[in-house]
Structure 1
């Protein structure tokens, strides 16, 4: 038995079951089509076999006319015959341009009832072909090489609900007279569209997803976008937008995802973001913001991903925890739900003490002016990535660092940490990357490091570590990079080092080691 079924993520229509098949379909007049039985909808069946990754032509015109849905994903052959006149759903994604008729637009006009068309990943090139006579609801032309002016796609498509032109070479400006009153999803990302985002987009009042990232749009972010009251996903990242963020974007009360990264936005981040109580993802990185207004994140209780790196923000943590930390001494952030926090490459200063109580999985604060000690409050059993490099942190590493029991990456490079590396650090057996380069660590290598069986990078260079290179280093069989340079190590180079299986870099220079370098390195 085989199925005619919709592609993943596409809306389901009535499916048809092909029974009594041997799974060895000939190219023409497939005999198993003699037994058609209505079946269930897409959501009620498991993944069908891949036997329909082939060119199926029905034995009779009557059967062809009965089709409503056909998925021939990656068929690598000819598309279906125009006899499929009543076809409503057609998925030909993942095929090659050479497999289609030369006059593809004329061929498509035969499918007069077509509502869903997916030609993504078909290596189509050149100018877009006319499709305006089709009653389309869903159109996907993703990941092709189409170019030129795509503006006519936006015309005379009053029924269109889903339009995705992602990852092509379309360019030019979007026409002013766009009229797509039914559109809920618009993805123009990874193209060469430019100019202003015109007010016509604001007339698409049913839009839920607006994705314009990775283009050349410029000017200010249109104020009229605030009229898209149904919008839940807004991506304007990697364009050339300038000026400030319109304060009335806070009127988009249904917004869950907002990406304004990699533009030329500047000034203050407006406090009118406060009403965005459903926001889960906020990326303002790689802009030129200098300050944030009071109560910016006060009501963002669902925020899980906050990325504000590579700006010009200043940050001073208050000693008062309420529970919030403070930007520029005045901005409370209620971050109890945040899992991913990236504030790297800014001008933040002060202590990191107030981060207590958060359930962070990823914390990235490198490239700031943070100072003070590494406190136990920053550690949590959920944290996977902790990057505090290139700051002015000092003092000894506390034994409580072991509370980060799930840590995979620890980077405290380029600070002023001193004292001995605590033995308790060996309790973080999940650690794969350890960067402590360019600090003032002293004492010997803790023997507990031998339990780092997953460790791939051990970077302890530019410190004051003393003693011998221990022979237990042979147990760290996953090590790829070992940097112990510029320390105070002495004695013989252990003969066990050549037993490491996969080393790529070994730097033990600028120490007081003696003897000859072993020549039998098996992994190099």
Structure 2
């Protein structure tokens, strides 16, 4: 009697053994980095191939191969991979083949999932891909940084898609399709099961035809960075399964259909960077799932409706650079899932509702609006995850609450160009805060600069200019802030003491890029500047600095702007041979400089030497016409 089960086992065992041999042969021919590999490097015949990392088996056959991120650079042509006839899932994403897609992929007739994204493939997509009629997911997307992107020209999209009727997910981002709306949409009409359509940056052009709504299974539409130059079809409202709509940077025009916001399952809407696209926010479904709403750099306008509070899942709201106005509804405080909130560059008015219920908030920008009123410590209670706050260019007033400086995750705090006043209070545990950027400039802040600032060990940027701070600041205090690269103390009532005992400590000073000390009652050039090598902008204007401009000033070899105006300087000490080739602006006006006019015209393009005592006799007469363009020395 024949033992069928034994024979079946023997046959399947032999088949798997053969497939393992094919995989080892494939590995032998592939070019990859053994030091970086986490899968291929461990494949060997002493272990059952179904146990190898990246291999999936079913019924004693290899059905899945995942070699993503294996740093493979070649060896796929005529590979034994294409003899794995049971293969259903193949992932070669994020490698660096630098070759066309082999036509042999067409031999893998059972393929259901094929991911060749960002694998370094280039050139024309072969027509043999169209032979994979069982494909459910096809991902050929490439990054925008690719110098040699894939192309879908001949065959075109229609030829490639006409037999792939089982596809539910299609990713062609970055592939050069170069088709107008009717062509690529017509090609998609043969894909009735399509759920995900991702074709960002494919060189598509409009219009977005209303026929797209016939693909009733669509849940994800990602067509960003194409040149549609068309309105958004209202028929999209009929896609009841739609969860994601991404149409940023598409040159969209007309009025965005507000009915699209009513789609119950919608989670992501990103139509940003379409500056001719108009629209307004009116209503939202009661139990909507919207998580991301990005309308930035569009022409949306009007009020923010109280119905925004219906969006209980909203985590990212970006309305920056639009035309919104009016006050924020009180109900706005109920958006407890907010993580990212950007209302910058609008015309919102009135007070800021408390956000202390949005405990997940990380980023907040209200820059350049017309918000008014105080911001009290209660606004910030419980916001332990906030890393960035930008309230600049508004008309907020009152005291700056010290609670802002003690938010445990805060890195960036921008409050410039407001009407904040009063004294800044000291805040505890400053050395444990994470603050890196602090801008309080152009307010009405008074009193002494808190000593707490000199304990902010992570501080890189401190701008306190144009306030009413007073008292004496010893500059050696800044030695503690080794990460500080930008410092602005200009235009206060401060006396800045830059004297040191000899040269002790000068070498350990922070390396400044921007140093703004205008109107700081300086009597001479700060000696620590001799050791600065990274200065790009130096402003010592409106002080009482006397005598000679020392020649070491011209050794700042990456300097872009120098302002020494409104001092008592009498002469300029050269030579200028090492003057920064990046220098754009030199302002020496309103001093007592005399003698010959220094020649900066080879590098600087903005010069002001007016209101001095120069003789107007340049060393080289040919330079005279150039000098006249940049200054009036009389």
Normalised by the length of structure 2, the TM-score is: 0.66
- Does residue 1:484 correspond to 2:564, yes or no? yes
2:315 match: 256
What is the distance in 2 between the residues matched to 1:459 and 1:492? 17
* Pair 34,329 (structure 1): closer, same or farther in 2 beyond 3 Å: closer
- Determine which of 412, 415, 439 is the counterpart of 1:340: 412
* Pair 136,409 (structure 1): closer, same or farther in 2 beyond 3 Å: farther
- Does residue 1:155 correspond to 2:201, yes or no? no
Is the Cα contact below 8 Å between 1:304 and 1:340 reproduced in 2? no
Moved more, 242-251 or 500-509: 500-509
- Does residue 1:199 correspond to 2:259, yes or no? yes
- Does residue 1:313 correspond to 2:371, yes or no? yes
CA deviations on 1:451-485 (whole Å, 9 max, x unpaired) are: 33322222223443335434544664443333323
User: Matches of residues 442-453 of structure 1 in structure 2 within 5 Å?
Assistant: 442-453=522-533
Alpha-carbon distance, 1:521 to partner? 11
Is the Cα contact below 8 Å between 2:484 and 2:511 reproduced in 1? yes
Alpha-carbon distance, 1:284 to partner? 1.2
- Determine which of 164, 168, 173 is the counterpart of 1:111: 164
What is the distance in 1 between the residues matched to 2:403 and 2:314? 18
What is the distance in 1 between the residues matched to 2:167 and 2:202? 21
1:6 match: none
1:429 match: 510
What is the distance in 2 between the residues matched to 1:449 and 1:69? 61
Is the Cα contact below 8 Å between 1:485 and 1:509 reproduced in 2? yes
- Determine which of 427, 438, 441 is the counterpart of 1:363: 438
Alpha-carbon distance, 1:78 to partner? 1.8
Alpha-carbon distance, 1:434 to partner? 2.1
- Does residue 1:165 correspond to 2:226, yes or no? no
User: Matches of residues 379-458 of structure 1 in structure 2 within 5 Å?
Assistant: 380-389=456-465, 391-396=466-471, 398-399=473-474, 400=477, 404-412=481-489, 415-420=491-496, 422=498, 429-437=510-518, 439=519, 441-458=521-538
CA deviations on 1:406-456 (whole Å, 9 max, x unpaired) are: 23333455x33442354599765142122345x354322221233333222
Whichever structure has more strand as a proportion of its residues is: 1
Moved more, 163-172 or 244-253: 244-253
User: Matches of residues 64-103 of structure 1 in structure 2 within 5 Å?
Assistant: 64-66=109-111, 68-71=113-116, 73=118, 75-80=121-126, 81=128, 82-87=130-135, 88-93=137-142, 99-101=152-154, 103=156
Alpha-carbon distance, 1:217 to partner? 4.2
User: CA RMSD for the aligned pairs?
Assistant: 4.4
1:54 match: 100
Alpha-carbon distance, 1:283 to partner? 1.2
Unpaired runs of 5+ residues, structure 2, are 1-26, 32-55, 57-62, 383-390, 605-634
2:420 match: 349
User: Matches of residues 168-179 of structure 1 in structure 2 within 5 Å?
Assistant: 168-170=226-228, 171-176=230-235, 178-179=237-238
Question: Which has the higher Rg, Structure 1 or Structure 2?
Answer: 2
Is the Cα contact below 8 Å between 1:381 and 1:406 reproduced in 2? yes
Is the Cα contact below 8 Å between 2:425 and 2:450 reproduced in 1? no
CA deviations on 1:39-80 (whole Å, 9 max, x unpaired) are: 9986xx9x7641264121118x64244363041656442213
1:281 match: 340
2:577 match: 498
Is the Cα contact below 8 Å between 1:247 and 1:272 reproduced in 2? yes
* Pair 302,450 (structure 1): closer, same or farther in 2 beyond 3 Å: farther
What is the distance in 2 between the residues matched to 1:53 and 1:161? 33
Is the Cα contact below 8 Å between 2:323 and 2:346 reproduced in 1? yes
2:545 match: 465
Alpha-carbon distance, 1:503 to partner? 4.6
What is the distance in 1 between the residues matched to 2:481 and 2:74? 53
Alpha-carbon distance, 1:303 to partner? 3.1
What is the distance in 1 between the residues matched to 2:548 and 2:359? 51
Is the Cα contact below 8 Å between 1:265 and 1:288 reproduced in 2? yes
SS in 1 for 2:545: strand
Which protein, 1 or 2, shows the higher relative CO under an 8 Å CA cutoff with sep ≥ 6?
A: 1
CA deviations on 1:472-522 (whole Å, 9 max, x unpaired) are: 446644433333233222345144x53345452362523334565677999
SS in 2 for 1:274: helix
What is the distance in 1 between the residues matched to 2:285 and 2:540? 50
1:121 match: 174
Whichever structure has more helix as a proportion of its residues is: 2
What is the distance in 2 between the residues matched to 1:213 and 1:38? 41
Q: How many residues align?
A: 501
Unpaired runs of 5+ residues, structure 1, are 4-11
Is the Cα contact below 8 Å between 2:96 and 2:121 reproduced in 1? no
- Does residue 1:291 correspond to 2:350, yes or no? yes
1:8 match: none
What is the distance in 2 between the residues matched to 1:362 and 1:395? 22
What is the distance in 1 between the residues matched to 2:528 and 2:346? 43
